[in-house]
Amino acid sequence: MLQFYSASARIVNTKRAVMECLESAMGNDYAKSNLIILHASIGHNFQEMVDQAKEMAPDAKIVAASCCGVVGKEGVSESMKDMAVMAIKGNDFAVAETNNIYGYNSYEKTIEIAKSLKQQQPNINMIYFLASGIDIDNDKCIAAFEEVFGSKVTIFGATSSDNMKGFISYQAIDNQVYEHGAYAVGFADSTLSIDTQATHGFVAVGEPMLVTKSTGNIIHELNGKPAWEEYTRRLGLTAEAHCGDTIPIGALGEALSDELAKEYGNKHILRVVTKHDGNDMHYATTCTEGTKLWLTTRDEDLIFSEMDRIVKEITNRNQGKTPVAVFHADCLARGRFLFNRIIKEELVSKMQYPFYTQGECPPWLGMYGFGEFARLGGKNTYHNYTTALYVIYR
């Protein structure tokens, strides 16, 4: 039976930050960890981080990813030196990884991961997936997992990020650090269940752009014009802009059906552009020709009200169950680039309090990344610009 422990820290020295996190989470029992999941801001040295974790828990499986800040049971922090951990005791899990995963091979690479997980633990019912946030087709990743495990398996997790620049992100497995890797943790503890939900709070504006030429997750043309030029023009930028210039203001919306919109609390699901090659835009999912894309603007009242709504819906669906751990993925554009610290801390506090048990926050591991996985309409779905909560109950 799996047991979860978490902690977070803001410490400049990477090795000391790992020590602080593991000691705070588990006291003197950190060496008994079977799995250690680390999230760290881009200012940390990732090789030092995983090496230190392995030194402290030599028998544990170590996985890690970069982010733009962390959320733990201690609250939220978005410096360049943040770190958070979820340490797990127990053996009812499997870990698999890959390197050099990109948009064009996302399906094939994820099939390899899924088959490895299945071979290790046939009874997996939930998968924590963390992949590169730059140039990956997340729809293809979901399809690959579902081919091996079926559509009932719940996929949750995020894509790694940097400090909103879209230049590089890191993933690590044991002592190996990647720049375009992915890992998955499959949980096979039959006493556990998971509930996931996501919301964003942005509103579509103006007339949509039409995808007139695309290949997989790469958009070549919008409105019959070079994609990056047309996209940046609509944002009031020049084509010389970087992805980091567009991420805070450039959320793209795809229309949802009326049924999904009612569940989602929004008429559109959002997408982020984290890479461009000349005028080719790398989208976060497959984008077919004929897709209409709206520019959007944030609605801060809606962000708060929708977050309250999904927390209430999750807790109502799971009355009588005890939350034993919460994984949490937030879009980096909803962090310090969206709110000042006071409002942001209020948002996180309102998010966490309903899951308290006897006055204590459950083990909590959150990150600010480039995208989030959560169910929508009963299906595994990839999201951008959302708060996504993954509550594990026993």
pLDDT tens-digit readout, 137-159 = 999 999 999 999 999 999 999 99
- Decide if 275 contacts 231 (C-beta within 8 A): no
pLDDT-derived band of residue 342, with 50, 70 and 90 as boundaries?
very low
Q: What is residue 274's predicted lDDT score, i.e. its pLDDT?
A: 87
pLDDT tens-digit readout, 232-287 = 999 999 999 999 899 888 999 999 999 999 999 999 999 999 899 999 999 999 99
pLDDT exceeds cutoff 90 at 225: yes
pTM of the model: 0.94
Q: What is residue 128's predicted lDDT score, i.e. its pLDDT?
A: 98
pLDDT-derived band of residue 21, with 50, 70 and 90 as boundaries?
very high
Spatial CA neighbour of 253 closest among 291, 294, 201, 312: 294
Percentage of the chain exceeding pLDDT 70: 97
245-270 burial, b at 16+ Cβ within 10 Å, e below that, comes to: bbbeebbbbbbbeeebeebbbbbbbb
CA angle 181, 271, 309 (to 5 degrees): 105
- The residues that bridge with 373 in the sheet, in sequence order, are 157, 382
| Arithmetic mean of pLDDT, 301-305 | 87
What residues have CB less than 8 Å from 111, skipping those under 6 apart?
144, 147, 148
pLDDT exceeds cutoff 50 at 214: yes
Between residues 163 and 378, the one the model is more confident about: 378
What average pLDDT does the chain have? 94
pLDDT-derived band of residue 210, with 50, 70 and 90 as boundaries?
very high
366-to-68, 134, 330 alpha-carbon distances in Å: 11, 19, 7
Q: What is residue 350's predicted lDDT score, i.e. its pLDDT?
A: 83
